[in-house]
Amino acid sequence: MDETDVVGLLARACERLVGSLFTTLDDAGFGTVSTTSALAVRMLADGPMTPGALAVALGVTAQAAGKVSGELEKQGLALRGTDPRDARARPLTLTAEGRRMAETMREAESIAIEDWRAIADPDDLEALVRALRAYLESTDRPRVSQARRIRLT
């Protein structure tokens, strides 16, 4: 096994997986949604989040999360609510259209994984998932300038 190409292989595989997901979103009428907004919708599918919590989950500044929140509202994918325990908190909740987008994404993810299983040994896929989780759990996000950061938008 040539381990020197692992970064390139991961980058190309990610590009294809994300590309197929966005093709599905485009076909479902979500072609104007940015990558970061799509990721936010995917996270909000698990339940309401404040913009601050969304910023942490996305790994962006509070200002950037506020921009994403505004985009989601403008596109009719999320609404800012209220928290009865904290009047200052304005959690984002998906609208019916946001939930439709999240479901479209989950279905596309499932299809991509099934396609992957059809061409790769299931044990290899499980080993890859374990290796990626171990890497992510044992490393911190790199501190790089915004100009050099890999952007999903």
- pTM for the whole thing? 0.80
> Is 49 contained in some domain?
yes
Number of domains observed in the structure of the chain: 1
Q: What is the mean pLDDT of the chain?
A: 86
Contact of 44 with 94, CB cutoff 8 Å = yes
Average pLDDT over residues 43-65: 90
Q: How many CB atoms lie within 10 A of CB 125?
A: 14
Which CATH number covers residue 118?
A: 1.10.10.10
- Residue 32 has a pLDDT of 92
Structural domain boundaries, residue 15: 3-139
Composition of the chain by helix, strand, coil, percent to 5: 65, 5, 30
Cβ(116)–Cβ(125) under 8 Å?
A: yes
| Tens digit of each residue's pLDDT (9 = 90 or more) over 85-104 | 766 778 899 999 999 999 99
144 found inside a domain: no
- Summarised one tens digit per residue, pLDDT across range 114-151 is 888 899 888 888 898 899 899 888 988 766 545 445 55
